[in-house]
Structure 1
Amino acid sequence: MISVVIADDEPLARDELTYLLKQCKDIEIVGEATQGTEALEKILTLKPDVAFLDIHMPNLDGLTVARKLLEEDQTLMIVFATAYDKHAIQAFEVNAIDYLLKPFDQERVLKTVERIRQGVRHPKNDSQNEALHNSLMDILKKMGRESISAATGQVRAPKISKLAVQGEDSVVLIDPQDILYVYRENRDVFIKTTNKVYTTKYTLQTLEEKLASYPFFHAHRSYLVNLNFVHELVPWFNGAYTLILNDEKRSKVPVSRAYVKALKDLLEI
């Protein structure tokens, strides 16, 4: 069996990853953590084969935890979880490091598990371990959307009270609490408020990261919805649902089958 510890401060993300990994008969989840220091302690105590680390966690971020773990255990395999766009995290695809984009995709998780199996069959040598450690610094450099403290080496997720978007003749500052939902059409991403739709240059993944401290749920590959505006959850087709919002137009947001369980758990349905 391949032993795994999952560290993520988001209950929905943690539950979703746990569910997907449990589909693999040779994977055993031996522990979970909700913040960085707890993750560090549990992993060092339980000594799993693999640690799944969220990039942003309280106390210690995932990258700091990874560096500390590698100093203690050179045999540990690490997989990062992140909401970042693939172009911003190409450094993850080096040596034994892997990454999973949020929301998790079952096919991608299975690919990660296969990489883990290969890692168990063919352990890293000293030169690979050194390259693995060095690649962590490359990851930090590539995350230009975050500010990095030179004193601590920790990554700080941006905290926003307003979101800047392009209006017709000016830049408009939107309160995230006024956003009903965010959606993507082809390559374009839009932000819907109660009375207007704004175009944004942000990717959906970037907006999910920026809005992480607000009650937004990734209901569909192309939708983020503000749960504060949800009025009804209506069955639709083939296990999918539709959310009816409480604005005047009773806006509708689709919930794909892959996200229904997480939403029901969140709403305690």
Structure 2
Amino acid sequence: MRIVVCDDEPLARERLVRIVQESGHEVVAQAMTGAEAITAVKMQQPDVILLDIRMPEMDGVRCATALNELDHPPAIIFVTAYDHYAIAAFKANAIGYLLKPANKDELLEALGKAKNLNAAQLNEIRKLEDPTARPLREHIAARTHRGVELINLKDIYYCTADQKYVKVHHKEGVVLIDDTLKELEQEFSERLFRVHRNAIINLSYLDFLETIDSGQYQVRFKGIDETLAVSRRHLPALRDKIQNM
């Protein structure tokens, strides 16, 4: 793939360039600022840009927003020393968010995702979206002891409220996030469905609805043995949803 590397720190930029080139990809341009990155992308039409966030003049999030306005935007992978920009990064359609110093394996994994979801596909997705709506995320960012973890939406079974946090139950385990169930339900309304005031489920993993004691209901999932209670309030809507799936 053709890649632009943007970082205002020369050593960090050189490290990324080395990893990219050793992996058989082509670095078509290097940039030190967001403005330089935009110019490079317009000239080189790369498949991917590796983009720092904290830079002078124009930060990486603003740069990514500008890149997304191009006719053929590159896939964006942020590489930064700061974990608290993850939410803003994915609202800017980033497909990856790596913490410095970037781990080679993680970088190659992110580049692999970029290869599967190239710039042309991203452009087609944006054409179908309401231009006034928030960009669609495919990942949910969670802060863990390992830093920022990106949980792919397709790997999430269900989410439950846990005091002021939300627990995301996914294929690799459980993480806590700051988003509320209401925010997740609104943003991913086509994929996450409310079954209880304290729970939303990924419809892709819904196996069946079953009756338990005293007329209560619960849902079972594909691939796991866990169940979730369904409240009386949300039962009719869930039944309608199942009939139309």
What TM-score, normalized by structure 2, do the two folds share? Answer: 0.48
What TM-score, normalized by structure 1, do the two folds share? Answer: 0.44
Instruction: Point out which structure has higher relative CO (alpha carbons under 8 A, 6+ apart).
Output: 1
